Amino acid sequence: MLNFLNICSKTRKSWVLLIFTVVILELIALYLQHIVLIKPCVLCVYQRCALCGIGIAGLIGTIAPFTPLRFFSIPIWIYSAWKGLLLAKEYTDIQLHPSPFFMCDLFVQFPHWLPLNKWWPSMFDADGDCAGYKWYFLSLEISQWMLIIFANYLIIAILVSLSQIIDLKKWNNK
């Protein structure tokens, strides 16, 4: 399997597939926000940023997947998936164990040099409540789906990373 992932990481198609999954998830989020009228909370917006980080990793990997440039995209992918997983876990905890002392922020906080909520408010501005249940699909809430999605992104990213590190010739001869 690691050999397969190593080969895939050197093809443009696999990086484009990563970007495609991120775009689909972002489009679903925008559909739920603007068509279904579910207001995103702060943690939803931060998870969108983590997805954008995975998309950026995919773009870097797409540029030249057969060169060492992909080694720069894999840590970005791992970091973004890890941060997304932590945010999804926090969001799920808030929903499953509501408490007036354990809530998300009221406003998004981006660095002053990157005010995404001011540049693109329709995507990165939050006015929803984290504790409220918003939408279910196959008996799981959005936060629980995002936990599964980010866990899968992280597992795949770690396996791809391992496939780059492990000497596959020695591994396959054993």
pLDDT at residue 89, rounded to an integer: 87
Residue 158 clears pLDDT 90, i.e. is over it: no
pLDDT at residue 53, rounded to an integer: 92
pLDDT at residue 20, rounded to an integer: 94
pLDDT at residue 103, rounded to an integer: 65
Longest dimension (CA), the chain: 58
Residue 174 clears pLDDT 60, i.e. is over it: no
Q: In the annotation, is 49 catalytic?
A: no
What value does the mean pLDDT take over residues 13-19?
86
Residue 85 clears pLDDT 80, i.e. is over it: yes
pLDDT at residue 102, rounded to an integer: 64
Q: Please list, residue by residue across 130-168, b when 16 or more beta carbons sit within 10 angstroms of its beta carbon and e when fewer do.
A: bbeebeeeeeebbbbbbbebbeebbeebeebbebbeeee
Class of 2-107+122-173 per CATH?
A: mainly alpha
Percent of the chain with pLDDT over 90: 16
pTM over 0.75: yes
- Domain spans, the chain: 2-107+122-173
Which residue, chain included where needed, has tokens 């599964």?
148
Q: In whole angstroms, how far apart are CA 38 and each of 26, 35, 79, 120, 163?
A: 14, 8, 28, 18, 40
pLDDT at residue 82, rounded to an integer: 94
Q: What is the pLDDT of residues 87-121, one digit of tens each?
A: 888 878 777 776 666 666 666 676 667 666 667 66
Query: Which among 8, 41, 49, 70 is annotated as catalytic?
Result: 41
Query: Which among 48, 49, 52, 70 is annotated as catalytic?
Result: 48
Nearest in space to 32 (alpha carbons), one of 23, 22, 20, 40 = 40
Q: In the annotation, is 8 catalytic?
A: no
pLDDT at residue 12, rounded to an integer: 76
Tokens for 59, please give them.
Answer: 């773009």
Phi first, then psi: give them for residue 151, nearest 5 degrees: -65, -40
Q: In the annotation, is 52 catalytic?
A: no
> How many whole angstroms separate alpha carbon 146 and alpha carbon 47?
8
> How many whole angstroms separate alpha carbon 33 and alpha carbon 141?
15
Query: Which among 8, 49, 70, 130 is annotated as catalytic?
Result: 130
